[in-house]
Amino acid sequence: MKISCYCGEMIFDSTDNLPQKGRLIPDQDWLEMFDALEVQVVERLAAGKLSFEAACMQMRELICSPVRGMWQCASCGRLYIDDLE
């Protein structure tokens, strides 16, 4: 993916672990995510109702659901944030 920055530079997103790429979790979703992790993963895992592998997958789904992608221009520092749509 290429993002054309307002300053004229291009922001490239072709893989993971890029210095200009990040993730944003809106504050309104932050505590809800932790509550869901406790109820849907930790409690069920502790009660033996969920395998370790299933707990890991459920945890990743819960953490990733409110996440927005964001990218920073290396030239001017502007942030571009995905709107989840």
41 CB-contact burial (10 Å; exposed 0-12 / middle 13-18 / buried 19+): buried
What's the confidence (pLDDT) of residue 83?
83
What's the confidence (pLDDT) of residue 79?
96
How does DSSP classify residue 30?
H
What's the average pLDDT block by block, 10 residues per block, for the chain (85 residues)? 94 90 92 93 95 95 92 96 82
What's the confidence (pLDDT) of residue 59?
94
What's the confidence (pLDDT) of residue 1?
87
pTM, full prediction: 0.73
Q: Which amino acid is at 73?
A: C
Task: Please give the Cα distance from 41 to 28 (Å, whole number).
Answer: 20
How many of the other CB atoms lie within 10 Å of CB of 73? 19
